[in-house]
Amino acid sequence: MVTTPIYYVNAAPHLGHLHSTLMADALSRWFQLCGDTTLFTTGTDEHGLKVQQAAERAGKPTAQFCDDVASTFQTMCARGNFSYDRFVRTTEPDHKRTVAAIWRKLVDNDAIYLGQHEAWYCVSDETFLTELQVEEVDGKMVSKESGHPVELVKEENYKFRLSAYQDALLQWLDANPDVVQPKSRFNEVRSMVQSGLHDVSVSRLREKIQWAIPVPDDASHSVYVWLDALSNYLTCAGYPDADKMAENWPASYHVVGKDIIKFHAIYWPAFLLAAGLALPKRIVAHAHWTVDNVKMSKSLGNVVDPNAIIDKFGVDAVRYFLLREGVLTDDGDFNEELLKNRVNSEIADTLGNLVIRSTTAAFVPGGVVPTAGNFSAEDEALIAAMDAMVDATQAHYEKPDFSQAIRSVIFYLHDINRNFSNNEPWVVLKELKSPKGLSPEAIRAKEQFIANTMYISMEAARISAILLSPVIPATATGILDYLNVPLAQRTLAHAKFSRSTYGPIRNAKAKSKFVPFAKLP
């Protein structure tokens, strides 16, 4: 099970939403390459005060407002070529049933109690804050973390005994040092837990928030947004159905932005511990994006619209750039010139060029894949490096570190292209066309030299297309179709040297030249 956070419907999708969903999509596609059955989920978080207020500002009934904004996220998923299995909405009946079931389980296990709560509340962040988390700026109290305004709230709330799970969370973290990625986020989470946990509110008075799920057995309260929202993962897994849960849970990867790591790596595991459910195997908190080294902001007018950039550059170009440049540790910078240069250099010139040069009709007449053999020491080294590259790429994907996975493939392709140029098969072919003075043995050796150069290059192109298919699925499919690779052999198990039967190369005799990827102007 691979999940994105569910996206809040108070505004339209932006680049960060596209990136989170893309990461989960690429992960899901990767594990399908590995032969695994996957459950990839995404969706929208549609309850809370911010949604109420946004609907009022838009002059729409809240339900209609949610429908309209949710559809923009579904459109983003379609435009991004994201093949999710479930788009969950927190206003759906099955999610409400899940929330009621998990609430009652937490009450039965004495993890929720009714108490008085006085704290600073941030409407924008939908979270309560302690005195240490707020500060006065220009005469107003704001959240230190987000800078958003806060107000002092005192009311009766149901509270979750988060403090009771501090030791269990520390034990979980220490036993699973890779459970939060990257390591800097793990250290951040562990430090927060180590410094002490306080019980948290999991309800608001119904008179304060009407657009929410009522607390089971107490209609005067609404389920607080984070318990509601986080439970979407259980909804998608089939909770409380035991058979469905056994099939789908625990989640293998929760992909989230770094700003919500506390809720996913502290609150959520504590909820699961209290409910007696298995904890997620990995929580991946990625960094954010700037635009031309400036933070995205509505006031600056530099918020990147996913649909606009896909219209301008094409879906595979955008997918490639975001995964190539969006590292986990530091904020990525969205720059159109860098996108064009990166994509043209690496997809068109490095991968695309290798596909074309290794399948040129002069070297592979009739599109017949050459018979390789009697490899030189240089050939053997390239073959060994090819298989090692596949193993390294797999490790990067499963961490996940998409940038390193892509680099692993591209850097190897640089070596293969360099080998092709150094071997100069066109010179050898010219010699074979005028073989005067060449012995039969010399002719056979030169023919084998060309065959080996072509086959090793083709194999590098085939394997690279398989490895990059989670990133650039349409482009990779086009290359594999061109090489005539059987559908059943487009798997990780076949992504090693000489593990596929393919060919003849399609379009080898066609007048129109095959273009693996058209360069961006």
What is the pLDDT confidence band of residue 328, given thresholds at 50, 70 and 90? Answer: confident
Peptide bond into 504 cis (omega under 30): yes
Distance of CA 49 to the CA centre of its chain: 29
pLDDT at 509 (0 to 100):
57
- SS3 state at 359: coil
Residue 182 lies in a domain: no
Rounded Cα distance, 257 and 178, in Å: 17
Residue 76 lies in a domain: yes
Question: Using an 8 Å Cβ cutoff, are 170 and 193 in contact?
Answer: yes
My answer on whether 242 and 143 are in the same domain is no
Q: How wide is the angle at C-alpha 251 spanned by C-alphas 47 and 166, nearest 5°?
A: 80
Residue range of the domain that includes 487: 335-494
Q: At a CB cut-off of 8 Å and minimum separation 6, what does 404 contact?
A: 396
Longest CA–CA separation in the chain, Å: 98
pLDDT at 194 (0 to 100):
97
Domain boundary among 257, 280, 300: 300
43-95 pLDDT, tens digit per residue, is: 999 999 889 889 999 999 999 999 999 999 999 999 999 999 999 999 999 99
Nearest residue to 313 via CA among 123, 520, 468? 520
| Mean pLDDT of the region 508-516 | 71
- Say how many domains are in the chain: 3
Q: At a CB cut-off of 8 Å and minimum separation 6, what does 396 contact?
A: 402, 404, 405, 408
- Strands 332-334, 289-291: parallel, antiparallel or unpaired by DSSP? parallel
pLDDT at 181 (0 to 100):
96
pLDDT > 90: what percent of the chain?
82
Residue 169 lies in a domain: no
pLDDT at 297 (0 to 100):
78
CATH number of the domain where residue 63 is located: 3.40.50.620
Q: Which of 175-179, 409-413, 441-445 has the lowest mean pLDDT?
A: 441-445
My answer on whether 63 and 17 are in the same domain is yes
Q: Which of 64-78, 124-138, 345-359, 402-416 has the lowest mean pLDDT?
A: 124-138
Query: Does pLDDT of 258 surpass 70?
Result: yes
pLDDT at 162 (0 to 100):
98
My answer on whether 37 and 74 are in the same domain is yes
Query: Does pLDDT of 125 surpass 90?
Result: no
| Mean pLDDT of the region 404-421 | 98
Residue 316 lies in a domain: no
Strand ranges (E), 270-362: 283-286, 289-291, 294-295, 332-334
Query: Does pLDDT of 314 surpass 70?
Result: yes
| Mean pLDDT of the region 469-476 | 98
My answer on whether 242 and 132 are in the same domain is no
My answer on whether 32 and 145 are in the same domain is no
My answer on whether 409 and 484 are in the same domain is yes
pLDDT at 507 (0 to 100):
64
182-206 pLDDT, tens digit per residue, is: 999 999 999 999 999 999 999 999 9
Residue 501 lies in a domain: no
What is the pLDDT confidence band of residue 377, given thresholds at 50, 70 and 90? Answer: very high
Rounded Cα distance, 458 and 440, in Å: 27
pLDDT at 506 (0 to 100):
82
Residue 217 lies in a domain: no
My answer on whether 94 and 234 are in the same domain is yes
- SS3 state at 80: coil
Whose tokens are 């318990």? That residue is: 227
What is the pLDDT confidence band of residue 511, given thresholds at 50, 70 and 90? Answer: low
My answer on whether 365 and 230 are in the same domain is no
My answer on whether 348 and 482 are in the same domain is yes
| Mean pLDDT of the region 118-131 | 81
Residue 81 lies in a domain: yes
Nearest residue to 345 via CA among 362, 327, 320? 320
What is the pLDDT confidence band of residue 512, given thresholds at 50, 70 and 90? Answer: low
pLDDT at 508 (0 to 100):
54
Rounded Cα distance, 230 and 209, in Å: 18
Q: Which of 33-42, 130-139, 233-242, 437-446 has the lowest mean pLDDT?
A: 130-139
> What pTM was computed for the model?
0.93
My answer on whether 344 and 430 are in the same domain is yes
pLDDT at 182 (0 to 100):
96
3-state helix, strand, coil in the chain (%, to 5): 50, 15, 35
Helix segments in 326-439, DSSP class H: 336-343, 353-358, 377-398, 402-423, 425-433
Question: Using an 8 Å Cβ cutoff, are 60 and 68 in contact?
Answer: yes
pLDDT at 129 (0 to 100):
83
CATH number of the domain where residue 368 is located: 1.10.730.10
Residue 208 lies in a domain: no
Average pLDDT of the chain to the nearest whole number: 94
pLDDT at 133 (0 to 100):
86
My answer on whether 13 and 125 are in the same domain is no
Query: Does pLDDT of 130 surpass 80?
Result: no
- SS3 state at 4: coil
My answer on whether 69 and 143 are in the same domain is no
pLDDT at 298 (0 to 100):
76
